[in-house]
Structure 1
Amino acid sequence: MIKQIEADVVVVGGGPAGVNAAIAAGRSGAKTVLIEKYGFIGGMSTAALVYPWMTFHTTDGKQVIAGLAQEIIDRLMAMNASPGHLRDTVGFVNTITPYHPEIYKVLAVDMLKEAGVKLLFHSFVDHVETVDNRIQSVQLTSKSGRIDVSGKVFIDTTGDADLAYLSGAPCLKGRDGDKATQPMTMKFRMRGVNLPAVKQYMIDHPDEFYKKTPFSELADLPLSGVLGYFKHWKEANLPINRDQVLFFTGPEDDEVLVNTTRVQGLDGTNVEDLTEAEELGRKQVLMVAEFMRNNLPGFEKASISNVGAQIGIRETRRIDGQYALQVEDVVQGRHFDDVIARSGYPIDIHDPSGKGVTAAWVKGDGAYDIPYRCLLPRKIENLLTAGRCISTTHEALATTRLTPSCMATGQAAGSAAGLAVKHGVLPAEIDVAELQAVLEKDGALLK
């Protein structure tokens, strides 16, 4: 017998976008359910160790993402689980935001329950029932058997557009032409790192590190991230198609999060490709950790302390929505009448087949708008999206995929769903001005 659960808003995917969507919907008064395949919250931020969160600010340091995302940071800071926004000592952006993932897992659940959200962990959506271009319900496979969850409005925060795809909404994948996606990365942590020695080596050998590193300020800044060791990496000649070492510090004083492995040419929505990616990624982790311990000053006594529960995925499916954010929209810092979130993160494309990263910074005031239309898929009328699977081009996805942007679109999707339920209309029929007023009342920055 299939268990039946009824809700107003059904959110599928418990990453930062899904957390914020469910909290916003729950706070609106809508009866909300959040479905997550893992036994914990956080998506890529916790399962794949995507750390730190970047960025809440423009390159000039103006904050452009706040609202629920900032509320989470404030509460983490009160729990000594985040130092707040720090200068990025890599120099790629102005600020990054470290956090303790285990405490975030607990805090997020607390906030969801405070908002009255019903949680269904260890639950995997494998079928979507649609009638006349509207989702009626989603079916879950779970430890306790089949569950049918019906709702009025559904929000896809799976990252992979799983809900949209299963519902029949048009989806895209990868770049134009060959459909290649950005590579996957298996992230890992190391303890026992002598970070003062790392900083001193950077100060003494600036030519071996990223050109935008703020060397003139480095002595007075807490070390938050490092990109470089070009000479060491080139000499090692590891079979990893990347041209430098990248890591971020914390959450402990002797700890770093390493973002250096690279698995290319595999599809994150294909189970056989994913299986191979997990195998390759974990082998690369051992290889990179040994290289760092044997070759990098400050890592002589370091050891692996944690590896992601799954490989980190930058790009898979995204919806073909009512508007696709363009690379020119980002780079030119364009504004839209139906803005529901902003971001100052640059274009950041990890080459699908090569070694490098293609970057382009936002002009104008340093931030671009994300329009509400990017959250609305074609064909399926009672579906919203947020996070990595909103409607963009391959190039624009390289900025909207970052966690603070996902948090912001998540809050917008949840608030929009709440208004749709309140007024008994479809998400495309809500008054966007009313949505903007709700978001700004709740702390979002839209101008």
Structure 2
Amino acid sequence: MNTYETDILIVGGGSGGFGAAIRAARHNPDAKILLIDTMSKLGGTSTVGGVNNWEPGIGGPGVHYELYERLSQQPNAIGVGKTVHFYKPEEPYGLSVIDPDCPYESSLRRSALPRDQWRRVHFEPDLMADLMLTMLTEAGVDVRLRSRFKDVRVEGRRIVSVVVQPLDGGEAYEVRSKLYVDCSGGCHLAGAAECQMAFGEEAYDLYEEPSAPDTPAPIVNGTTQVFRASRAETAGVDPLPEEAQSPDVQAWLAANNPGTAITEYPNGDLCLNVLPTMQGKEFHSMSYEEAQRVGQARVYAHWHRMQTQYGFDHYRFHSMFPLVGIRESHRLVGRFVLREQDVRAGILHQEHADEVIAFGDHALDTHGERRVKGPKLGELEQPYGVPYECLLPQEYDNMITASRGSSFSHIGASSCRLSRTMMGMGEAAGVASALALQQNKLYPDVSVAEIRDILEIPAFIEKIIREWELET
């Protein structure tokens, strides 16, 4: 087996992986960086998974500004949208359309804001993915798509090497790296290295979260199969595929009548996110391929209902996104676990507030089956932060994480999973990697204060205090 040596190996090219790669490369241009991802494009759930919008929410002082600015220079690439139709039982969908008068900054807040003032960013997924690749190429990152890690070798408190398998028929090869950044959705590298992992709802006794159930259960956030529709000149209804006519699919549709979050693309097409397409527990009980097949059949049936009952007959089905939108799977149990009380306490009063490296203010938000106390976890009053130790496994010193699988409780993860928060976590992991190489250190020994200064975290917290009018 051939061997490839690098300084930093990043596993996963979604929002977190992109953030890690761009920051590491720009802060340490001499570093040799390899990024691998299983898909044919970068961006993960936010591009090939069809979640082609950044939900309203604080983004932090990160590279998302540059992505927006550079895409804004291309026609029909990106825009800021506002909700023109809110969900109601008799019309179970929300619709957000692009408003050219909305500035980007208006999309960077959700907490303590009336929902009619929420703004989100809509973008073309291929253009976003292409720009991510362009930026990483400009920075000198070696990006290898359609590549999956298949094995990991460890010695003591270090990851030694990873075996990478190209998915297009090439020979597997071994990657030996000084540092490893796990940005895969479910922290698969950490799991393969036998780090402590969590799955599902934790019991109250574990973290004493106010909304946690009394007993644990393998219940996770529901999944979504996202699809795209294009405007048609005349009214009509797409043919209903045979698989969508099955009794099981029709029974699911009748029992659930799911809602749909719809965003308008810059060219007028629609992005449709069915909430949820499948219970999380159900999804993870199947093979990925079978779950995707069932989810797509449900989506076809749901789209038929939208065309025939809810006024979408002037649109036609365009395409199904190739990656299932997975909100939650396995999660690392790291050096610190972000819990419900940390999220609710806010940026000034949460534990480890002086180690925050990324931000969120999305609602504590679960889809599908749940046993948390109360009808809904609900909106937040102010932003909170993700402490650096949420990125660090307990077992290894040369690995860091930055994904929805990082060290959060089930309830904490329900808020923290948004794209711009993941990107901010990735940027922190990237800066930590650059500093570790430059200073010949491992991740636990890198100065969190230095990471925060490079990311301009203290100045951003001052901005939060002003704009949210927080009492210090």
Structure 2 length normalisation: TM-score? 0.78
Q: Give the secondary-structure state (helix, strand or coil) at the position aligned to 1:347.
A: coil
Question: Does the CA contact (< 8 Å) of 1:267 and 1:274 recur in 2?
Answer: no
1:126-167 deviation digits (Å, cap 9, x = unpaired): 101111121011101122211111111111110111010011
CA contact (8 A) 1:52 1:248 kept: yes
Structure-to-structure mapping, 1:327-366, within 5 angstroms: 327-335=340-348, 336-352=353-369, 358-363=376-381, 366=382
Aligned-residue offset at 1:370: 0.9
Match of 1:258 in 2: 273
Aligned equivalents of 2:431 and 2:6: distance in 1? 16
Q: Which of 140, 145, 156 in structure 1 is aligned with 2:171?
A: 145
Residue 52 (structure 2) pairs with residue 66 (structure 1): no
C-alpha distance 15-109 of structure 1, shift in aligned 2 (>3 A) = same
Task: Tell me, yes or no, if structure 1 residue 45 matches structure 2 residue 63.
Answer: no
Is 1:94 the equivalent of 2:113? no
The answer to whether the 8 A contact 1:266-1:274 is kept is: no
Q: Deviations over 1:53-77 (max 9, x none)?
A: 11343xxxxxx52311221111111
The list of structure 1 runs, each at least 4 consecutive aligned residues, that deviate by more than 6 angstroms after superposition, is none
User: Residue in 2 aligned with 1:376?
Assistant: 392
Amino acid at match of 1:310: L
State the shift of 1:346 in Å: 1.4
- Distance in structure 2 (CA, Å) of the matches to 1:103 and 1:344: 27
Match of 1:416 in 2: 432
Q: Which residue of the partner structure matches residue 102 of structure 2?
A: none
Which of 180, 183, 187 is the equivalent residue of 1:161?
187
Q: What residue in structure 1 maps to residue 148 of structure 2?
A: 124
**Whole-Å separation in 2 of the counterparts to 1:171 and 1:121:** 26
Amino acid at match of 2:177: G
Letter in 2 for 1:111: M
Is the 8 Å Cα contact of residues 258 and 276 (structure 2) preserved in structure 1? no
1:71-126 per-residue CA deviation (whole Å, 9 max, x = no partner) reads: 11111112235444444455387221111101011101000011110011111111
Q: Which amino acid aligns with 2:378?
A: A
**Deviation readout 1:194-253 (Å, 9 max, x if unpaired):** 9xxxxxxxxxxxxxxxxxxxxxxxxxxxxxxxxxxxxxxxxx982453553332222322
What does residue range 3-22 of structure 1 map to in structure 2 within 5 Å? 3-22=2-21
1:189/1:256 contact within 8 Å kept: yes
Distance 1:193 1:180 in 2: 40
TM-score, structure 1 normalization: 0.82
Cα contact 1:340–1:446 (8 A) shared by 2: no
| 1-structure distance, mates of 2:375, 2:422 | 21
Distance 2:346 2:80 in 1: 23
**Matched-pair contact (CA < 8 Å) for 2:361–2:384:** yes
Tell me the distance in 1 between the aligned counterparts of 2:296 and 2:116: 27
Describe the SS at the equivalent of 1:76: helix
Identity rate, percent: 28
Q: How does 1:4-403 map to 2 (within 5 A)?
A: 4-29=3-28, 30-57=31-58, 64-89=59-84, 90=86, 91=115, 94-142=118-166, 143-176=169-202, 177-192=216-231, 238-239=253-254, 241=256, 243-266=258-281, 272-297=286-311, 299-335=312-348, 336-352=353-369, 358-363=376-381, 366-403=382-419
Tell me the C-alpha RMSD between the 2 structures: 2.4
Q: Is the 8 A contact 1:289 1:303 kept in 2?
A: no
Query: Residue 259 of structure 2 contacts residue 274 of structure 2 at CA under 8 Å; is this kept in 1?
Result: no
- Gaps (5+ residues) in structure 1? 58-63, 195-235
Q: Structure 1 residue 357: deviation in Å?
A: 8.2
Q: Is the 8 A contact 1:327 1:396 kept in 2?
A: yes
- Counterpart of 1:7, as a letter, is T
Contact 1:189-1:258 within 8 A present in 2 as well: no
Q: In the superposition, relative to structure 1, how do residues 323 and 405 fare at CA in structure 2: closer, same or farther (>3 Å)?
A: same
Alpha-carbon contact 1:350-1:358 (below 8 Å) kept? no
Letter in 2 for 1:18: G
